[in-house]
Structure formats: structure tokens, C-alpha cells
Structure 1
Amino acid sequence: MKRDGVRAATTRRICEEAGVAQGAFHYCFRSKQELFVLLMERDAEAPVQDVRDEITPSMSPRECIALLMDRYWQQVEKDPGEQLVLAELSVLALRDSALSDYSSIEHRVYLAATLQHLRHAAERTGMTYSIPIEELAEVTTSAMLGVSSVWLATRDSVAARRNLDILAEMVAAYAITP
């Protein structure tokens, strides 16, 4: 899928690539959609690089948020092929009834991770937020996914990092320091 895209992922090609008989595929998975769901779940459950120990009480809100976004971005740039496959699967899930639940599950997982990181940054530094943290996490998650989507189309890492810097500044503007 990284090489040829999700549409090219027939069970026959998957088995040829893996060097197994097609019967082995159907022994492991009821359908290609089941394989796709497992791939998407694996991504959604993959831990974001842990930065808890790097956030110190003396850091400014801007520094905390920028650190979190930098770690997220390192994961995106590390494997563009994987990011593209996941983006394709996300769009496919919007149209394929066998995958329909995935889109909302994926969003909830990403949102929960963002919320967890914003809470941790607040706990470590003593800051609070001037709007409900759930709302801040929602807009932050949406914006970060948007930056990832644009980067997949352009591969302009300089622009992506600039956008994340602006986003970090915007999110930090809602922080209230003690």
C-alpha cells in the first residue's frame, strides 16, 4: 500500500507481496476491510512520543506546546508512505460501510491524545487554559491533522513547521500561567 496505494491492495497482491497463499489471508482476516481496520487501529493506538519528562515547570506555555507539536511532527515526517496510506484509509472509511465506524474512532483517539498532552503540560507547569481544555484539544487536533494533510500534498516541511509554530503560539495564547 505504501508503494501503490490502498486501491491497489487486492487480497491477491497482498498475499503475493507477503509470499503466502490466498487461503492464509482468509484464515487470518474475514475481509480486506478487516485488515484495513486493524491497520488503522494500530496507528490510532500507536503512542505519541512521550515527552512528559521533557516538560519542566519552568517552561513557558509556548515552549510546552511547541515541544508537543514537534514530537508529533517528527512521527509524521518519519514515514511519509505510512502517513499517506493512513490518509487514504481515513477517506476510504468515510465511503465504505464496512469501515464506517473507524473515522469517528480515529478522531476520538487523536483527540484523547491531544487532550492528555495538554493536561500534562498544564499539570507540569501549573498553567490553566482560558477556554475549556476539551475545546482547545478539538481545535488543536483538527489543525494538526490539517497541517499533515497539506504536507502530504506538498511535502513542504518548512511551511508545515511554520504552520505548527503559528499553531503553538495560538494555543499558548489560551494558557494562563500562575
Structure 2
Amino acid sequence: MSDATTRPSTRRREQTRARLLDAAHEIFGEVGMDGASVEAICERAGFTRGAFYSNFDSKDELFLALVSRMAEAKMDEVAGRVRDLSTSAPLQPAALVRQVLGVSLGEHTEPQLMSEIRTQALRDPRMAQAYLAWHERLQARVAAVIRTVVDTQGVRLRLSVDEAARLLLSLSEESSMFATIEGKSEAQIGAVLADRLEHLVTLLVDVS
């Protein structure tokens, strides 16, 4: 098969996956993960069950892919802000958090979806393996962002980069979950995260 034939096929597959993910996101927001049936997702996306199962092995895999897409989009945004730091003067830890993360970190993180996926991972060893692999990739991206900040800003950490990434990610997840339980809006969740991460970064940075 020629490259010219493969490219349109690849694009169609990517578009199908994207539409299924968009539909899943909408359905989840309406009825939750358990209520979001494959049939409802396919109907909303305008595809057959065959199209669904040619892209995802299960509903759990689709929702994990949805979380991955949201997390990657957020990390791409953060990475872009970090690149902008390379031409700026070194910043204090609190200012670094505000400039790199902004107050939008909590937007579109879907704590309810994350909570349900973790619950599924506790029940299903296959889902657990997939979730742990995804979480490891996300942590690696956070670590890469931290390394860039360390290199461009001359920051010294009290912990290793990997340990700092693990702490920042854990705090983000826990804060987002509790802020959601408290009924806060996305903007309020972002503000809570920025404030708590600012305090944590201040503790992590060695200013001696």
C-alpha cells in the first residue's frame, strides 16, 4: 500500500477516534461513566459499534484515552509556557508557578472521570495496568517540564526531579478532587491548585 493511500486512511481513523472521544466526553458529562453506554457514544458520534471496536477494545480504554487527551493538552500548554521562560529573567518560585501554570490548571481535568477510572482500575487488573502506564507517562512529562525550568531558571531543588514531579502530580490530583467535592467551579479549582502548588514549590526550591 502506498503512502498516499495510507495517509487518508490514517487521517480518517484519527478523525473517527476524535469524534468518539468527543461524544464520550459529552455523554459522560450528562450521565457519568457507568451510564455512558457504547451504544449512546456511537449514536452521538454518528458511528456503528464496529467503528467503536475498531478503535477501542472497551469503554474503559476509551475513557482512559479521553483522560490522556485532556492531560496531554494541559501538559502541552504548560510546556509552551515553560519554553517562553527561556528568554526571561529568573523568577522567584511563586512567580514561576503563576507564570508556568497560570490559574487554568484545574480546567478540564475532570476529577469525576479520574475518580471513576481509578475505581475501575481497582477492580480490573487490566485497567490497573493501563492506568499505571498512563500515569507513569504523565509523570515523565511533568518531570521533563521541571527539568526545563531547572535548566533555564537556575533552580535548585531539595529533592530529585522525579520525586518533585511525583509530589506535584499527587498534590494536583488530590487538590482537584477535594475542590470538586466541595462544589467549586473550574476557575476556583484552578485557583486552589495554583495556590497549593505555589506553596509546595516554595518548599521544594533550595534558596540557600
TM tier relative to shorter chain: 0.7 to 0.9
**1:17 corresponds to:** 44
CA distance, structure 2, for counterparts of residue 75 and residue 159 of structure 1:
8
For residues 1-178 of structure 1, the aligned pairs below 5 Å read: 1-48=28-75, 49=77, 50-55=80-85, 56-70=88-102, 73-77=103-107, 79=108, 82-156=110-184, 157-158=187-188, 161-162=191-192, 164-177=194-207
TM-superposed CA distance for 1:148, in Å, is: 1.1
CA distance, structure 1, for counterparts of residue 159 and residue 49 of structure 2:
53
Matched to 1:18, the amino acid is: A
**Identity percentage of aligned residues:** 23
CA distance, structure 1, for counterparts of residue 56 and residue 90 of structure 2:
50
Number of residue equivalences: 174
CA distance, structure 2, for counterparts of residue 44 and residue 159 of structure 1:
16
1:117-142, CA deviations, whole angstroms, 9 ceiling, x for partnerless residues?
22222211112112222222211111
Contact map agreement 1:151 1:160 (CA 8 A) in 2: no
TM-score, normalised with respect to structure 2: 0.69
CA distance, structure 1, for counterparts of residue 157 and residue 199 of structure 2:
13
TM-score, normalised with respect to structure 1: 0.78
Q: Pick the structure with more helix per residue.
A: 2
SS in 2 for 1:20: coil
After TM superposition, the structure 1 stretch with the greater mean CA deviation from structure 2, 57-66 or 6-15, is 57-66
Q: Note the residue ranges of structure 1 that are not aligned, 5 or more in a row.
A: none
Contact map agreement 2:42 2:52 (CA 8 A) in 1: yes
Deviating 4+ runs (over 6 angstroms): none
Higher relative contact order (CA 8 A, sep 6+): 1
